[in-house]
Amino acid sequence: MSDIMIAVDLSSFSENLIRTGLELADKMNASVTLYSVVEIGIGIGLPEGGPVFTDDIPARIREVEERLEAYRQNYPDKKNISILVGTGNPKNETLAQAHESNATMLIVGTHGRTGLDHMLLGSNAEYIIRHSRIPVLVVPYNQEEH
């Protein structure tokens, strides 16, 4: 059985991203790993919860696990959904986990930033696409606007 890893940033779009990934997983008869990264340190593009200082990491990991579990509970009929939380730089940790876990596909979302925002913040999705050794499906966060 193949495994699809869905990289979730816990933004308001996460539910849509997960639903898209689960629909694809059903068609592929694949298991799913919901994956999120607790970003450590201070920098541009802070995680939604703000910077994470060393003593906050275990609590933040538990919080992220709880939020992923809440998403999983939205799909009680799906028994093949696992949860995993990493720490560090989101794009690097997401790629490392996808490759180490032998996922057959990685699903990520993109905010679709352009111009100065893109230059300053970079694009995690773009980086992941360029460096991934497995197929990547990118789901636009603003797809309801199209």
pLDDT of 43 over the 70 cut: no
pLDDT band at 122 (very low <50, low <70, confident <90, very high): low
CB 107 within 8 A of CB 132: no
Extract the tokens encoding 66.
């709880």
pLDDT of 56 over the 80 cut: no
pLDDT of 144 over the 60 cut: no
What element of type H or E holds 87?
strand 81-87
CB 129 within 8 A of CB 10: no
Which pTM does this prediction carry?
0.83
- Cross-strand pairs, 109: 139
Average pLDDT (112-135) is: 73
In this predicted model, what pLDDT tens digit does every residue of 71-113 receive, in sequence order?
A: 999 999 988 999 999 999 999 999 999 999 989 999 998 866 5
In this predicted model, what pLDDT tens digit does every residue of 18-37 receive, in sequence order?
A: 999 999 999 999 999 999 99
What does the alpha-carbon distance between residue 37 and residue 52 come to, in Å, rounded to a whole number?
Answer: 11
Higher pLDDT, 68 or 50: 68
CA distances 70 to 4, 13, 73, Å, are: 19, 14, 5
